[in-house]
Structure 1
Amino acid sequence: MRVIGLMSGTSYDAIDAGAADLRLVGDSLVVEPLGLVSEAYDEPLREALAAALPPATTSMEAVCRLDTLIGRAFAATAVRADRELCAGRAELIASHGQTVYHWAEDGRVHGTLQLGQPAWIAEATGLPVVADFRPRDIAAGGQGAPLVSLVDLLWLRGLPGRPVALNVGGIANLTAPDGTAFDTGPGCALIDAAARGFSGGRLTYDAEGALAARGTVHEPLLRRLLEEPYYALPAPKTTGKELFHLGHLRDALSGVGTLPAEDVIATLTMLTARTVADAVRAVGATEVIASGGGTRNPVLMRMLEQQLPGVVLRTSDELGLPSAAKEAYAFAVLGFLTAHGLPGTVPTATGARHRSMLGSITPGRDGVRLPGGGGEGPVRLVLG
């Protein structure tokens, strides 16, 4: 089955569309990547989204408008991906949507909201769409994240040593081979917030770590940031920009005085490296296979390497899975599993009571023709 996975992460910088041919061969899921296309949100939509995200307040009118506009943007990206990557022969779309709120309290997740109405995608492509993946796991008592952990576990199986998969987006998450998975804390979320705040909106992120490279880590600020109780919570656990936003940084800065922007961003970069490294050590990893936008920040990657002496650090690109496309491919896999009646979660990763088939299906132009299936699902992932 030829599937397009659509993903926009917590950094909301672009919609990624990864296309792949997927097939079940015995107990293996064979994934043949076909490529990636990315489309940045237009500036008015990006600004409207930023204005509605926590800790800002919003209105139902704004939510309705965003659901429609994001849905249209996802639809346009899906059409492009089908044309450029699939020669117009895609069979299914799997859309993660745009997370705008993750309702977590006292170590439990009670709800989550992803916008990007799938009807627009089905209408534009004529294809069935699997969307709204996270709520089913939450209804089963899970965190609803990290859902990429299933794909990580299938992919890591059989690799030597004790490798872990790390994704560094706005939030960083880790998957260990024993099925443990959790959000380690901020990936680029606080770095991006600081870059935007210090530049008055002119910058949206620290390109190639240039600001951090000019700064010096401020140890008192780092210590204050590391006092955040989230880091001490046991897995499984998830978080988001509801916690790690500009206000979180301002609270920490209030106790250390005025600092140069470069020093703040260097400190936030070290915060990500330190909290990820602490998580890696806690699961006894011998190797880290990293993906996500954070891998394009050489300062962050260098700090992480320094924090993990004796642990091999490399990107998923080195193993044949493009790091920029990994999450889009992961949701293509999850959509494929749903279409085949197979579960898409790992209870040890999310804390759910049981495995669940994920998502809701919006029919395409010709309805929904599911291939059937059922059972336990594949036990390993093979790149074709």
Structure 2
Amino acid sequence: MIGLHSGTSADAVDVAVADLSLDGPVVVLSPVEHAEHPFPERLRAVPTGAGDVCALDTGLGQLFGRIAAGYRGDLVSSLGQTAHHRVENGTCLGTLQLGEPAWIAEATGLPVVSGFRQRDVAAGGHGAPLASALDVLWLAELSRTAPAAALNLGGIANVTLVRRGHPPSACDTGPGNALLDAAAQRITGTPCDVDGALALRGAVHPGLLDRLLADPHYARPAPKSTGKEHFNAGHLDRATEGLALTPEDLLATLVELTARTAARACADARLVVVSGGGTRNPALMAALRRHLPGSDVRPSDDLGLPAGAKEAHLTALLGFLAWHGLPGNVPAATGARGPRPLGSITPGRAPLRLPEPATTPVTGLRIGGSRART
């Protein structure tokens, strides 16, 4: 299975190749290899009209196809690139995912599973965080003795909390790296604050932090979702208006915002498994541990899933579940009316032959041994 993931940061396409199988009610996921492919600058532009949307949809599909063609697998799963995620007053009214799967099927000759978020939204959910599909299964065993959480620090941060005897909860907590990257781009001309260097030299600005924390998203109960339509450079401009800030203090304050809002959602967890690009920011990881003094905060690498490729493995899992007719959403996490098989299948060059649908509900996920790792 080849999983393709392009997150809200639009900085790279993550690829994960994994062997997946069913062992009764448990999915066995064995990582084979993973890699990161830089995102072309020409595909980072925000589309402004139907022509731009068409060009971006085609360009992304072709890019995903070229990348997937470099790997060996029997099925491709693509989450697509979020172009717009429409949320009003806490309700998700639609989501637009680009990267036409026909281009992937044409480039690889393989069947492609895509369009996962849309089905959950159609069923009344937020279409996010779909990471809960992996997290709830993975944490089922890890949370037997104490609550456990999975935190992904991508462009937008999301958390899944699993507690024995309670339904799982999940949400987009707010900006992960989105505001940090927007600020770094303006200040340094680079896509991020490398190694958290600026943030580590700064101090939190209380006035700015108060303005940022006043955003209504943080007070809404889970399930909830958000995106860069909300947490973007314009959002940052409005929050910083009239304030005298050094670059270092701005980055330090944005680190504090991400850490504090993510930690709130993880407060009950004794184990917090962290993934995503934010794990490479020492300032952010230190702030997160400071706000979770009673928790064991560790990268997902420690438990067998590479922190930088966890969402690509999630995409592979979603494709596997769809291929076998199994639900790919967690209604308690996304707010959907019920479990749904997610995704649409685009045939490859050969006639489409689906396996018999699985009849045993999946209740757990076991990470198998990795054969190779890039």
Using the size of structure 2 for normalisation, the TM-score is 0.95
Find the residue that maps to 1:94 and give its secondary structure.
strand
Cα distance in structure 1, aligned partners of 2:17 and 2:60? 20
Consecutive unaligned residues in structure 1, runs of 5 or more: 53-57, 83-89
Conserved? CA contact 1:36–1:81, under 8 Å: no
- What is the Cα deviation at residue 372 of structure 1? 1.9
**Structure 1 residue aligned with 2:170:** 181
Q: Give the Å deviation of 1:367.
A: 2.4
Q: Which amino acid aligns with 1:167?
A: N
Aligned to 1:165: 150
Q: Any conservation in 2 of the 1:41–1:73 contact (CA below 8 Å)?
A: no
Preserved contact between residue 287 and residue 312 of structure 1 (Cα < 8 Å): yes
Does residue 150 in structure 1 map to residue 148 in structure 2? no
Q: Give the AA of the match of 1:335.
A: G
1:343·1:376 contact (CA, 8 Å) conserved in 2?
no
Question: 2-side partners of 1:249 and 1:167: how far apart?
Answer: 22
Q: Percent identity?
A: 54
Which residue is 1:41 aligned to? 39
The alpha-carbon deviation at position 258 of structure 1 amounts to 2.4
**What pairs up with 1:283-302 in 2 under 5 angstroms?**
284-302=268-286
Would the aligned equivalents of 2:2 and 2:68 in 1 still touch at CA under 8 Å? yes
Give the partner amino acid of 1:22: L
In 2, Cα distance between equivalents of 1:220 and 1:258: 10
TM alignment of 1:1-384, pairs within 5 A:
3-46=1-44, 48=45, 51-52=46-47, 58-82=48-72, 90-159=73-142, 160-177=145-162, 178-199=167-188, 202-255=189-242, 257-281=243-267, 284-375=268-359, 377-384=361-368
Q: CA deviation at 1:44?
A: 2.3
1:212 shift after superposition: 0.7
Number of corresponding residues: 362
- What letter is aligned with 2:15? A
Kindly provide the amino acid, as one letter, of the partner of residue 179 in structure 2.
Answer: L
Q: Cα distance, 1:81 vs. partner?
A: 2.5
Structure-1-length-normalised TM-score: 0.92
Q: Which consecutive unaligned segments of at least 5 residues does structure 2 have?
A: 369-374
Question: How far does residue 254 in structure 1 lie from its aligned partner after superposition?
Answer: 1.1
Contact 2:25 2:360 in 1 (8 A): no
Contact 1:17/1:36, CA 8 A, preserved across alignment: yes
Structure 1 residues 82-118: Cα deviation after superposition (integer angstroms, max 9, x where no partner): 2xxxxxxx11000011111001001110110111011
Give the distance between the partners of 2:288 and 2:241, measured in 1 at CA: 27
Which deviates the most, 167-176 or 151-160? 151-160
Deviation string, structure 1 residues 228-263 (Cα, Å, up to 9, x no partner): 1110001000000011001111111114x2211111
What per-residue deviation string (whole Å, max 9, x for no partner) do you get for residues 180-216 of structure 1?
Answer: 01011100000001111223xx211111101111211
